[in-house]
Amino acid sequence: MNYKEILERVMNNVRAEKSLGKLATYIPELGNIDPYKLGVHLSTVNNLDVGSGDNQEKLSIQSIAKVFSLCLAYKMVGESIWKRVDVEPSGNPFNSLVQLEADNGIPRNPFINAGAIVICDILISHLERPKDAFLSFVKEISDNPELTFCQKIADSEKSIGYRNVALCNFIKSLGNIKNEPEEVLDFYFCLCSLEMSCKELAQAFLFLANGGKKVSDEKEILTKSQTKRINALMQTCGFYDESGEFAFEVGLPGKSGVGGGIVAVFPGNYSIAVWSPKLNAKGNSYKGMMFLEMFTTETEASIF
């Protein structure tokens, strides 16, 4: 299959569409992004790398980082992780407090904010320097030693993070946060500030398309069973209360972020990252969703 030709064709079609949606201006720094950026990069398990548009420009990956933190925690603590966070779609916005009381402080899944905050708490409990360890993990899976957090983005999120503060303290009151909320939230805001390009994201997610092993050296990051579970969670929970729509239209496991990035994985084949900063009403990239729908339609391939 000529992925390069298909990517270019879809890119031209998506560029021609109206640029609907809005920037995530509730995080001040994200309101400064050029809203018309558009990039895509695809990496295959057969060592093919193709990209188009702004695919090598850095973006704030935001909630896409929750996949990395989950993988690191899962790798460290194994199946006991599911005692602290559930694996069900929430059906609510990513920053909702609605279900926490009824569920006794156990977040519905690790990709809503409440779940990601609990994952941060787990990592803090098991790591002496959690920020450094997390960054080292992402550098390893992406084969990129230059990755770093963006302090401006982290500070910007912290300045308006009242709901996340409420989430963390509420979970703490219900006994599912073991460390001090201030420390947990500092780590959470930091990991969401990670900056990567579409190319770097596609390469970092490629182990999830390769049975849990890095393509470059076949090093095992997660077991096949763990990899299957991470992909299943991305399929059912990776797009908050639009996860069903993404499964219906695109048919791949994936994860979005309010910086306008989306990564999707076709197990056994490829990972693909798209970036377009304007978001739809659910907080997912408007043109990113459109691109991936067109791409899987063109390739006539999905997990279903």
39 CB-side CA count, 13 A: 26
What is the spatial distance between Cα 44 and Cα 40, in angstroms, rounded to a whole number? 14
225 neighbors 212 (Cβ within 8 angstroms): no
- Chain centroid to Cα 267, Å, comes to 17
80 has catalytic annotation: no
Choice among 63, 90, 256, 271 that is catalytic: 63
Choice among 3, 74, 188, 270 that is catalytic: 188
63 has catalytic annotation: yes
Cβ neighbors of 102 (< 8 A, separation 6 or more) are: none
Q: In a 3-state reduction of DSSP, which class is residue 80?
A: helix
Between the two ends of the chain, the Cα-to-Cα distance in Å is 19
Choice among 52, 66, 156, 255 that is catalytic: 66
240 has catalytic annotation: yes
The encoded tokens of residue 73 equal: 């925690």
Choice among 250, 258, 263, 265 that is catalytic: 258
Residue of 183, 283, 229 whose CA lies nearest to 73: 229
Choice among 3, 240, 270, 286 that is catalytic: 240
Say which amino acid occupies 164: N
119 CB-side CA count, 13 A: 33
188 has catalytic annotation: yes
Catalytic site positions:
63, 66, 188, 240, 258
